[in-house]
Amino acid sequence: MKSPFFKCLALAGALVFAWNCSEEASSEAPAQEGQQAEEPVFVQSWLIEGDVSYVIIPQADAYIVTDIAGTQIGLFDTANKTIIGMSGEVIAANINLDEQPVMTPERTIVYPNGMIKDFNGNIIAEPNVPASSETLPPPASSAEAVPQSSAAIQSSAAAPASSSSVKSSSSAKSSSSVKSSSSEKSSSSVKSSSSRATTTEFKVKSGGHQGHGWGTRYWDCCKPHCAWPDNAGDNPSSTCDNKMNALGPFFKNICENGVSESDGAGVCDTQAPWAANDQLAFGFAAVPAQDGGKCGVCFLLTFDGGDHQGGGNGLNGKKMVIMVSNIGGDVQQGQFDLMIPGGGVGMFNGCGKQLGIGSMGAQYGGYLSECGGGNKGCLLDKCKQLSKFPKLQAGCEFLANWMNAADNPTFKFEELESCPWELKEKW
């Protein structure tokens, strides 16, 4: 006699087929007598076993989560490895898809230890190593299901995060306001900065976008354009709450009307720029709105010592690698709006909500515009207003120290073949 679990699983398997049948397919006429009806398309899915079990089904725009009976109960947040219920509650956390059993198109379940079962619970292949039921107990909860390696499918969860300079909330999509209990974004695909050497060589993309441009600055605290999966090729940048805890991609933009500081997503403090040494720095930036497809693309900026107003700044020869995280409706071709805390909020301002800071300096140019280009002392003093957020204060001081309080510096920009790990880690 089969376990009720596998009876339900057989039903869930049928429903996995249903999730992947298009509306067009459902509207087609049924097969005529004597003709064989086409088998519906089945997509590999993950089985999360525990006291309560779930099926995670990848779709084009989201990861659907159902119970074993096939009823949708929520979505899977790939960034935070969390199942989020339909009402926004966290149902299960710490789920590594690479370590879960996989439901295959052949209607089998492939377990991490090599065992294969059909949907009725029949064993098709034994485990790779002998194991008794005592050595492979079911996990106490779905959040603890961590077998050793299955990897029939790899999670598409990506890493790093960002925000917007001149972000358009009208173009930003938000599917729901869902909060994750995770306090930090996972970056399992990259090692920590303490164990890797700083990247110092960068390969320019053949035929990539390049030219001579200039840098402005901003920090508006808004959820960036590239934080929506649809805008970033399902590799959205991370976002944070007002305590700089990482959030999933389904939170609403904190800059939208009616969204409070407690349930909105803004930019993370990890997006502030930093210096690797006296000659090399890393950071994030917004590009013109018509370049919205460049989410996650990196550019090498080589400063020439000049500025957009025709002056000088002592940056000649310094290099900065930036990753595109946002778009700006008022950003021009050749312009890179560098994310620098205290650099001005631009068209949108979510800093009052996220940071609890009333003034971020002049709307365009921020603290430096109030101090005047080159005035390091004044700028460093104003950066102290961000002391509640040490990473933001350090990013503000970066403008004074590494960039010599330069106002709109000019540079040569070159698109890179790939982004360095330093930026991927913070995406």
Q: Which residues are designated catalytic?
A: 220, 337
Query: With DSSP H G I counted as helix, E B as strand and the rest as coil, what are the percentages for the chain, rounded to 5?
Result: 20, 25, 55
Do 426 and 270 touch, CB atoms closer than 8 A? Answer: yes
Do 371 and 396 touch, CB atoms closer than 8 A? Answer: no
- Residues 6 or more apart whose CB falls under 8 angstroms from that of 120 comprise 2, 6, 7, 10
Question: d(Cα 383, Cα 302) in Å, to the nearest integer?
Answer: 26
Residue from 228, 209, 238, 225 nearest 297 by CA: 209
Residue 212, Cβ neighbours under 10 Å: how many? 12
Tell me how far CA of residue 397 lies from CA of 138, 214, 254, 414, in angstroms.
52, 20, 25, 26
Do 383 and 396 touch, CB atoms closer than 8 A? Answer: yes
